[in-house]
Amino acid sequence: MRILLTGATGYIAKRLLPSLLAGGNEVICCVRDRQRFDASRFNSEQLSVIEVNFLEPESLAAIPDDIDAAYYLIHSMSASTGSFDELEKRSAINFRERMAQTKVRQVIYLSGIVNTGKLSRHLASRKTVEDELAAGSYHLTTLRAGIILGSGSASFEIIRDLVEKLPVMIAPRWLNTKSQPIAARNVIEFLGGVLMKESCFDRSFDIGGPDILTYKEMLLRFAAVRNLKRRIFVVPVMTPRLSSYWLYFVTSTSYKLAVNLVDSMKIEVICRENELHKELGITLMSFDEAVRSAFERIEHHEVTSSWTDALSGPGLERGVSDLVRVPVHGCFRDVRKRAYADRERLLERLWTIGGRNGWYYANWLWGLRGFMDKLSGGVGLRRGRKNDREISPGDALDFWRVLYADREEGRLLLYAEMKLPGEAWLEFRIENDTLIQTATFRPLGLKGRLYWYSVMPLHEFVFRGMINRLTR
């Protein structure tokens, strides 16, 4: 079967892809930037990658006509607090119109549970997209999920941050809202199970786990699984804005995502009864089982996707590829060179930099810079990295984004996603027996120049210490 997979760099699509390939299907992955998709990880001749932007109808010509099914896994929840709903609607219309020109028989859409009269802006947007997709000439199957629990999912990481960092929580009243979480593994099973299943054509199904819990109960259950004692006091005084700030400063989430999450968490998301899991032979995982499974993947370094894969830097809207060529003109540079003795040891240090391993020198200063970035509305350091051992273009790495990573070539290029009066790159390049470490900053106006001169003394301390530790 020939399958089109949209949103291929997203959390769910990255987990669905191996399952589709294992089923013997040919999969065409749609990405906005080919540089962000590492096809070599999947090692399959049945996989192809095309560059498509669903907001630009002319780019959709790259989609082949002879496809059998398509997965629509596109959403903009973490990307914007502004017009994301209009962008989602336009993308859906463009997709539908292109599908009308193909041989596609079924489209599968992953949406959110919309069983209440009052919907959040996020859930209302999902419903609008569903309505637009349903107007197509193909058979639409919609799976409506609530909170998705899996290693690297936004919900899982937020719960993890709250539970592991706060022994006592003063929490907003929406923690008493009921929800029906579902394990990421079950979501993948549902997505694969409805593929070309005629009994699922032109229908929608709510999918959730066996447990209906309040968010407070989720936090306490999570703590119990981790053998932690936590106390939570719910107060009625937190406004949506305060709640968003509470999530933003305590957890690793972005402010944009926090706003949209708080807006959605005020709405109960409980499944309508259906027997789809029995029909597909799916064993639903409990909340506790989902948490344990997620930690098993983390411990075995098997986190294949993360909510942090979504780009958030101001310069990243134009894609990773456009930033790989580091500018020279009009830039400040800090270049340092050191000889090294062991190439493999050096590469191992470079490829495990950041996250729990830190930056090898003056980690407290990196932490302070991350805290300052958080205060100014940036991503901070809490995102870490999704895999302690592997790194690929497009991965988040603390407040950096990986633009280029080639171990054989000996080059690692990072782009700053922190709040800056300009743009910044950090490059590590091995030439002959020397490590070349280059920090490049392209200032924006006078403010950018003043910023560079103000941090130069710190650069002398931090960057010198870092390259010395890397090469020793």
CATH class entry, domain 2-299: alpha beta
Q: What is the pLDDT of residue 81?
A: 47
Q: pLDDT tens digits, residue range 77-102?
A: 544 445 777 888 999 999 999 999 99
pTM of the model: 0.77
Note the pLDDT tens digit of each residue in 36-82. 777 777 878 899 999 999 999 999 999 999 999 999 998 765 444 45
Quote the pLDDT of residue 151.
84
Three state DSSP letters for 292-305: HHHHHHHHCCCCCC
Mean pLDDT score, 244-261: 72
Q: How confident is the model at residue 269 (pLDDT cuts 50, 70, 90)?
A: confident
Same fold, 2-299 and 324-471: no
- Cα–Cα distance measured from residue 249 to residue 255, given in angstroms and rounded to the nearest whole number: 9
How far is it, in rounded angstroms, from Cα 385 to Cα 75?
22
How sure is the predictor about 379, in pLDDT bands with cuts at 50, 70 and 90? confident
Fold type of domain 324-471: Alpha-D-Glucose-1,6-Bisphosphate; Chain A, domain 4 (3.30.530)
Angle in degrees, CA 316, 318, 319, rounded to 5: 65
Comparing 258 with 408, which gets the higher pLDDT?
A: 408
Over range 225-246, report the average pLDDT: 81
Average per-residue pLDDT for the chain: 86
The domain segmentation of the chain, as residue ranges, is: 2-299, 324-471
**Interior angle at CA 259, CA 161 and CA 71, nearest 5:** 85
Q: What is the SS3 assignment for 467? A: helix
pLDDT at 372: 85
Q: Residue 110, SS3?
A: strand
